[in-house]
Amino acid sequence: MRSTLRTGQWFLFGVILAISGCNYVRLLRPSVLKQLNPDVVRMVNMLPAVDHPNEAIVGRLFAHGGLSHAKLGSDGVFRDKIWIPETEFIWKPAIIHIPRGGEIELEFHNTDGNLHAALVPSQQGRQAMMLPMHTAGKVKIRLDAPGLYFFGCPIANHAGRGMLGLIMVGGEVPAEARLDRPRQERP
């Protein structure tokens, strides 16, 4: 009985040691757990669905402005609101997710004391909207194909300072649009 207990203890110790080297177990520390909020959890759960080269970009943008899931209206149009916080030079949220292609109406609110603009992609070409200080405006665009569509502020170096965002359109890529090469690792 005594040798079995020792063997069991060694086995348990070995399992704990092996698991503790895993990066995911380190996330269970109380200092890390208190930082998780529903937006972070949704983003972490969504990242595996993003292709490898874009995963790091999406992760960086999320850290700046967060993630939002656009709401589908009764008219079939997705809608969401984007804010420019005072003196931060970011979009909040920086990532808008829609589960499938279609029309999306974005309402931009400039609460900052600086002039900004929104340059937004669309099937009909990019649309630009000026956002003077403490104003708001709406833009309706159409994004039919799944993928990542970047938007930003083209004024001065605002995009370089953090005013870059993206719209993630979910859905299946048609067979004729898929790449016929193996996955490429990037440095």
Convert the pLDDT of each residue in 116-138 to its tens digit: 999 999 988 889 999 999 999 99
Rg (CA), the chain: 22
Residues 6+ apart with CB under 8 A from 159: 152, 153
Determine, yes or no, domain membership for 75. yes
CB of 67 closer than 8 Å to CB of 39: yes
The rounded distance, in Å, linking the Cα atoms of 141 and 104 is 6
- Other C-beta atoms within 10 Å of 101: how many? 17
CB of 118 closer than 8 Å to CB of 105: no
| Residue range(s) defining the domain that contains residue 102 | 36-177
44 and 30, same structural domain? no
| Between residues 18 and 87, the one the model is more confident about | 87
118 and 84, same structural domain? yes
Q: At 178, is the pLDDT very low, low, confident or very high (cuts 50, 70, 90)?
A: low
| Between residues 109 and 88, the one the model is more confident about | 109
How many domains are contained in the chain? 2
